[in-house]
Amino acid sequence: MDHTTAGDRRGEPPAARTGTGNLSRFTDLAGPRLYRDNAFAVTGLPANAKGRAVRQHRQRLEARLAVEATLPPDPGSPLVGGHRKDEVRAAFEEFQDPRRRLVDELLWRWGEPASECGCPADVHEEHDNAVRFHAMALEAEAGRSHATTDARDILWQGAASAWGLLLERPEFRRHIAHRIGELDDPRLGELSADDFLAELPRLLVSPFRELAADPDFRPRLAAVCAGWTEHAAFSGLFTELFEESVEDTVQKITDGLRSVSDRKDAERFTDAVRIVREEVLPAFERFGDVRAYVSEWRYDDVAHTVAVGVGNLAVAMLGHYRFHRPSPTEKRTVVELAERAYEIAPERQVKAFKDNWDVIYDWSVSAVPTRSVPGSSAPSADRVWPGCVLAALALGVLSALWAVHGWEAAWGGFLVLGLIGLAVQKLSQWYARIRIHAGRRRYR
């Protein structure tokens, strides 16, 4: 038992008064049994029970447990099953230290507000709902009560919402301050309501660390925790819990993109696309499930890496199909990859990916095959010789028109050929866009 007085530890920061210090009860209760080990839940005492009432109740229970193996929970309790004699005796010891007792008060039913409490009735009601939903969820996950997966998820959602909203209410803080004054013990003199409020959110989410190791619960972990992160009190408490899962997922993404790059360089595009669809994108979707538990810069970094890998594959396939006429399915695949890269790319980097998607889409709906070499500033042979042929044909046509119909017809033919030349120039500019985006602006 901790008999430290206010004078012994005065001036120490709140962090020094937790763990094995004055608020060690928060550490002791952490985990899925935080309600089952609650002193009020075990003994059946009301949260405002005072010294004499506690002693008399203990004597009655000791007599009862002399002939019974377990003590059933009090009527209306959200817990299932009774408590052993050693659990009951340990629970009564918590009433000896008001600092530990007050933590248990926060985690059990308050009932109707007393006249001296001064709380609005809905504060006590919200608190008791939060306790009930949370305790029932933990009992169901432990298999002590029957509930479908959907029903358990509803309980988790109710617990997260009830606790999250309650922690934001100033009346909740005033109630804790009132109880500190009501207990009137020197050992509480160094503590304020804010000290208890600072530790309570971490205790409330502490069961998730053990639940995360349960293979049946783990697929639901991210979705269940998401309801808690919506509230400011819990927003920063899950990063460490999901760190291992995040690292595993990022490693799968990295390995998949490396395989995609190797097959892209070998022009094994079918294999590369299969890895993107079956490994990289599903892994990135799993990473998205834990987005609430990673920093924004970390998520954007991974998203950019995936967008680059997928975009590079689309650009490489575009370059390949300039020399090999693609099938309709192959065209759709290139467009699909460019579109996914654009969708995944972080907002601040999205323009380059959108530009490439636009170019690739334009290419996909064109029936004219492209023969230019990406990144080349000089015209290639397959772009020079068509121009030479067109020039020779133009001279022949103009000469014939001059000889047969005179200079006016030749001049009209010249204008027509000029329009044709302009169209060819526009088409060449379109090809240049592809060269720029597929060659010079290849993702890095």
pTM (global) more than 0.85: no
374: in domain: no
Task: Indicate if the pLDDT at residue 419 is higher than 60.
Answer: no
**Cα–Cα distance measured from residue 141 to residue 210, given in angstroms and rounded to the nearest whole number:** 11
**Cα–Cα distance measured from residue 1 to residue 95, given in angstroms and rounded to the nearest whole number:** 11
Task: Indicate if the pLDDT at residue 403 is higher than 90.
Answer: no
Number of alpha carbons in the 13 Å side-chain half-sphere of residue 352: 19
Phi-psi region of 72 (alpha: psi -120 to 50; beta: other; left: phi over 0): beta
Mean pLDDT over 331-335 rounds to: 93
**Cα–Cα distance measured from residue 229 to residue 102, given in angstroms and rounded to the nearest whole number:** 26
What's CA 57's distance to the chain center, in Å?
Answer: 47
51 with 128, same domain: the answer is yes
370: in domain: no
337 with 266, same domain: the answer is yes
283 with 197, same domain: the answer is no
Place of tokens 């029903």: 151
The pLDDT value recorded for residue 425 is 54
Q: Which residue has the higher pLDDT, 260 or 411?
A: 260
407 with 359, same domain: the answer is no
Mean pLDDT over 62-71 rounds to: 90
**Cα–Cα distance measured from residue 440 to residue 444, given in angstroms and rounded to the nearest whole number:** 11
327 with 184, same domain: the answer is no
Mapping DSSP to helix (H, G, I), strand (E, B) and coil, where does residue 84 land? strand
The pLDDT value recorded for residue 254 is 96
- DSSP secondary structure string, 338-358? HHHHHHHS-GGGHHHHHHHHH
Instruction: For residue 71, count other CB atoms closer than 10 A to its CB.
Output: 19
Task: Indicate if the pLDDT at residue 163 is higher than 50.
Answer: yes
233 with 247, same domain: the answer is no
As given in the structure block, the two tokens for residue 244 are 């291992």
Task: Indicate if the pLDDT at residue 407 is higher than 80.
Answer: no
Q: Which domain holds residue 181?
A: 6-237
- DSSP secondary structure string, 309-322? HHHHHHHHHHHHTT
Strand-pair partners of 71: 83
pLDDT interval class at 399 (50, 70, 90): low
**Cα–Cα distance measured from residue 275 to residue 266, given in angstroms and rounded to the nearest whole number:** 14
- From the number of C-beta atoms within 10 Å of its C-beta (0-12, 13-18, 19+), residue 182 rates as middle
Q: Which of 186, 214, 237 is the last residue of a domain?
A: 237
353 with 424, same domain: the answer is no
**Cα–Cα distance measured from residue 92 to residue 89, given in angstroms and rounded to the nearest whole number:** 5
Q: Which of 237, 259, 276 is the last residue of a domain?
A: 237
66: in domain: yes
Q: Which of 364, 397, 416 is the last residue of a domain?
A: 364
349 with 414, same domain: the answer is no
The pLDDT value recorded for residue 11 is 39
Closest CA to 26 of 151, 195, 234: 195
Task: Indicate if the pLDDT at residue 235 is higher than 60.
Answer: yes
pLDDT interval class at 21 (50, 70, 90): low
Q: Which residue has the higher pLDDT, 423 or 253?
A: 253
**Cα–Cα distance measured from residue 280 to residue 305, given in angstroms and rounded to the nearest whole number:** 11
Lowest mean pLDDT among 120-129, 274-283, 357-366, 375-384: 375-384
Burial 414-442 (b: 16+ CB within 10 A, else e): eeebeeeeeeeeeeeebbeebbebbbeeb
137 with 215, same domain: the answer is yes
The pLDDT value recorded for residue 93 is 93
Mean pLDDT of the chain: 81
Mapping DSSP to helix (H, G, I), strand (E, B) and coil, where does residue 70 land? strand
DSSP 278: I
371: in domain: no
36 with 118, same domain: the answer is yes
Q: How many residues does the chain have?
A: 444
As given in the structure block, the two tokens for residue 249 are 């997922």
- Phi–psi pair at 326, nearest 5 degrees: -80, 155
251 with 340, same domain: the answer is yes
Burial 3-12 (b: 16+ CB within 10 A, else e): eeeeeeeeee
26: in domain: yes
1: in domain: no
Q: Which residue has the higher pLDDT, 12 or 352?
A: 352
pLDDT interval class at 383 (50, 70, 90): very low
Task: Indicate if the pLDDT at residue 85 is higher than 50.
Answer: yes
376: in domain: no
373: in domain: no
Per-residue pLDDT tens digits for 172-218: 999 999 999 999 999 998 899 999 999 999 999 999 999 988 888 98
287 with 353, same domain: the answer is yes
Task: Indicate if the pLDDT at residue 223 is higher than 70.
Answer: yes
Look at the chain and report how many structural domains it folds into.
3
